Structure 1
Amino acid sequence: MKGLVAGFVATAILSALIVMKAMMGVMPELNPVKMIADMLDAPPAVGWAMHFMIGTVLWGTLFAWLNPGLPGGSHWLKGIVFAVGAWLVMMVVMMPMAGAGLFGSHLGMMAPIMTLMLHIVFGFVLGAIYALERPDPTGVLQGMRT
């Protein structure tokens, strides 16, 4: 359950950043929700639902399960390590499936950089929220309830 909560909050923060990026006109061709909807030949609402399902259920559950074995002392660092792995999966599997090429090469040089930055934020939030309900073994998050 703790992984699901952390996954949901991290996905909500990531989604807010995706919406802000779109409103600023930054890389409009890089829209993961639209990519999901297009791959499913579904309306944008389905893309959003799937985006939240992936971030909450898949990544949140998988993070909670893998957390004890992930490198990094604190949960937030483990979250970043985990999210970089999720980013690699997205770049090698999902981007080509969506027609964007390996590492989003058809979207330009900024696509992998932008998505990596977003995944790092996702991972930090994922681990930090998870740490609110789990002790932080390093005590790095002393300002948060550990």
Structure 2
Amino acid sequence: MMSRVQKGMVAGFAATVAVSILEAVNVFAGPWVQPFPSVVATLIGMEGNLAVGWVAHFLAGTLLLGALFGVVCPKLPTDTPETKGIAFAVAAWAVLMVGVLLFGDPRMFNAGGGFAVVAWMLVTHVVFGIVMGNVYARLVNRDKRAHDMSGAAAAH
């Protein structure tokens, strides 16, 4: 049986993989907008280093957002796991945007398309939330089924 944090980290990793596939298409077929790993690398002071951006992207999606989602998921106000994931991911996107405005350089979006980058990041965060919520719910349900004692024999 995994803890909620562990389930969140597994779900965060799966969601990061899903978003990374979208980002890989953007990087290798386009790029249509500035890739998110490039934004992350710029935020941490390693502008232009996509490898560092990819690593930071996976670490943040798995260890930070995934673990945090595992903690707050039961408290989120929506009904379905996917909408819980969307609400969480959009909140994370909003924190990221505030972080860029307060600590980063908002002009970093100018080279890659301005509003298109912000919109792309919102869309990918929504996808991240859907996948994370779905995987997290599947892990929770798996643990519930594993501990279901309804068909067990009596102890005495």
Query: Common fold, TM-score beyond 0.5?
Result: yes
Q: Give the drift of 1:25.
A: 1.6
- Runs of 4+ residues over 6 Å off in structure 1: none
Instruction: State the one-letter code of the partner of 2:69.
Output: F
Alignment of 1:1-146 (within 5 A): 1-28=6-33, 30-38=34-42, 39-41=44-46, 43-94=49-100, 97-101=103-107, 104=109, 107-135=113-141
Counterpart secondary structure, 2:32: coil
Q: Distance in 1 between matches of 2:122 and 2:104?
A: 17
Structure of greater relative contact order (alpha carbons < 8 Å, 6+ residues apart): 2
Q: 1:82 to 1:105 in 2, by over 3 A?
A: farther
Cα pair 1:10 1:125 within 8 Å, conserved: yes
Q: Distance in 2 between matches of 1:44 and 1:121?
A: 21
Aligned to 1:142: none
Instruction: State the one-letter code of the partner of 1:35.
Output: V
Q: Distance in 1 between matches of 2:70 and 2:41?
A: 27
Cα pair 1:4 1:56 within 8 Å, conserved: yes
TM-score, normalising length: structure 2: 0.75
Instruction: State the one-letter code of the partner of 1:14.
Output: V
Instruction: State the one-letter code of the partner of 2:41.
Output: A
TM-score, normalising length: structure 1: 0.80
Number of aligned residue pairs: 134
Q: Give the drift of 1:61.
A: 0.5
Stretches of structure 2 lacking an aligned partner (at least 5 in a row): 1-5, 142-156
Q: 1:36 to 1:114 in 2, by over 3 A?
A: closer
Tell which structure's C-alpha radius of gyration is larger.
2
- Cα displacement string for residues 67-116 of structure 1 (whole angstroms, at most 9, x for unaligned residues): 111121111110011001011011111366442359x5774222222111
Instruction: State the one-letter code of the partner of 2:7.
Output: K
Matched-pair identity in %: 36
